Amino acid sequence: MDIAVIGSNMVDLISYITRMPQEGETIEAPDFSMGCGGKGANQAVAAARLGSQVLMVSRVGDDMFAANTVRNFEANGIDTTHVLSTPGTSGVAPIFVDPDSHNSIIIVKGANNALSPADVDAVADEVAQCRLIVLQLEIPLETVYAAIDLGRRVGVPVLLNPAPASTELDFAQVTKCDYFVPNETELATLTGLPTGSIEEVRAAAQVLVDRGCPNLIVTLGKRGVFWLGTEGELLLDEYPATPVDTTGAGDAFIGCFSHHLVQGDPVPEALRAANAYAANSVTKRGTQKSYADAEEFAHWLAQGESER
Ligand code: RIB
């Protein structure tokens, strides 16, 4: 296996709205789409579609969504041996996408809350064979910490995407990660420092690099992506694309970046690919539905911007 994703899965219930309702108001939305989501699952699927071998460690409920989620992992070639079942609801995410392609997301973690440090211990031997562990924050923090510790114990690099932002995330745990990939808001939440300008982002990232995290990668939305590492730094502009739905673009970025890392690509090269892959994802509706496979992505890259 190339990548172990220890994280969440959700069912995305996406309403395409013209505006958010006021309190007590009922409004009609012109369109709806249901699909597989969850930050962990999204990152796993993006990496798998690009050709990585992915092991998923996650929990589904015992409801009508569970079997579909497992089937979806399997359809994407992901190892589901450690996708476990737990009583109650699966994770669900009502999502609202406005005409400007911006999204608002509510997550109901459901079974994801039951993914435990013991579940991480149970998969230690398989994880030790992987080349990268990928984590997010839609499972309990103690489970995230157990996975970071496992990575260090068995010598497998750890990538942590601290999304959604948590004020409880332990700074000391973050500095144990080989790759820390927040957006600018998540970086501000963790460090307590401003991240409004690129200079401020750089200064906040430097704090974490100085404390031991060798690679800080900050996704900056329309301003692109910034990497500060012990081996160098890079600021990439946003890759040009016309967005229709930005939901899951950050997960597309991390899935693609992880795929390139485990192929042995240097960080700048992996970042360039991930920046473009995330841009490709926003040109289509949905979360996982918008993730290209390797062939589709190569074709899109080969087209000139004017042809798209
Ligand atoms: O990052 C996008 C994801 O956030 C969605 O798929 C939703 O399920 C939430 O986890």
**304: pLDDT strictly greater than 70:** no
What's the CA-to-centroid distance between 163 and ligand 1, angstroms?
Answer: 9
| pTM of structure | 0.96
Contact yes or no for 148/120 (Cβ under 8 A): no
What's the CA-to-centroid distance between 304 and ligand 1, angstroms?
Answer: 30
Tell me how far apart the alpha carbons of residues 71 and 285 are, in angstroms, rounded to a whole number. 21
Q: What is the pLDDT of residues 87-132, one digit of tens each?
A: 999 999 999 999 988 889 999 999 999 999 999 999 999 999 999 9
**137: pLDDT strictly greater than 90:** yes
Give the CA radius of gyration of the chain: 18
Average pLDDT over residues 16-39: 95
Cis status of the peptide bond prior to 164, with omega within 30 of 0: yes
Catalytic residues: 251
pLDDT score of 20: 93
Tell me how far apart the alpha carbons of residues 53 and 257 are, in angstroms, rounded to a whole number. 14
Atom of ligand 1 at shortest range from CA of 250: 1
What's the CA-to-centroid distance between 261 and ligand 1, angstroms?
Answer: 23
Beta-carbon contacts of 180 under 8 Å, excluding residues fewer than 6 positions away, are 159, 160, 162, 174, 208, 213, 215, 216, 217
Please name the residue that has the structure tokens 């089937």.
71
**235: pLDDT strictly greater than 80:** yes
DSSP letters spanning 200-224: HHHHHHHHHHHTT-SEEEEE-GGG-
pLDDT score of 303: 87
Average pLDDT over residues 46-67: 98
Average pLDDT of the chain is 95
**305: pLDDT strictly greater than 80:** no
Atom of ligand 1 at shortest range from CA of 93: 8
Atom of ligand 1 at shortest range from CA of 95: 7
Write the residue with the smallest CA distance to atom 9 of ligand 1.
Answer: 38
From 45, 106, 107, 245, the mutation candidate for ligand 1 (largest count of ligand atoms within 8 A of CB) is: 107
pLDDT score of 306: 59
What's the CA-to-centroid distance between 248 and ligand 1, angstroms?
Answer: 6
Beta-carbon contacts of 173 under 8 Å, excluding residues fewer than 6 positions away, are 144, 145, 148
Q: What is the pLDDT of residues 180-222, one digit of tens each?
A: 999 999 999 989 999 999 999 999 999 999 999 999 999 998 8
**Residue 173 β-bridge partners:** none
Atom of ligand 1 at shortest range from CA of 37: 6
Contact yes or no for 144/16 (Cβ under 8 A): no
Contact yes or no for 160/139 (Cβ under 8 A): no
What's the CA-to-centroid distance between 306 and ligand 1, angstroms?
Answer: 31
What's the CA-to-centroid distance between 247 and ligand 1, angstroms?
Answer: 7
Write the residue with the smallest CA distance to atom 1 of ligand 1.
Answer: 248
> Which range, of 66-80, 182-196, 218-232, 294-308, averages the lowest pLDDT?
294-308
> Which range, of 9-13, 39-43, 206-210, 302-306, averages the lowest pLDDT?
302-306
Site residues for ligand 1, CB cut-off 6 Å: 10, 12, 37-39, 42, 93, 105, 107, 138, 247-248, 250-251, 287
How far is the CA of 113 from the CAs of 73, 87, 140, 142, 208, in angstroms? 19, 11, 6, 11, 28
Residue 265 burial (10 A CB sphere; 0-12, 13-18, 19+): middle
Write the residue with the smallest CA distance to atom 7 of ligand 1.
Answer: 38
The separation between CA 267 and the C-alpha centre of its own chain, rounded to angstroms, equals: 17
Average pLDDT over residues 147-176: 95
**308: pLDDT strictly greater than 90:** no
pLDDT score of 148: 98
Write the residue with the smallest CA distance to atom 2 of ligand 1.
Answer: 248
pLDDT score of 101: 86
pLDDT score of 234: 97
Tell me how far apart the alpha carbons of residues 263 and 177 are, in angstroms, rounded to a whole number. 19
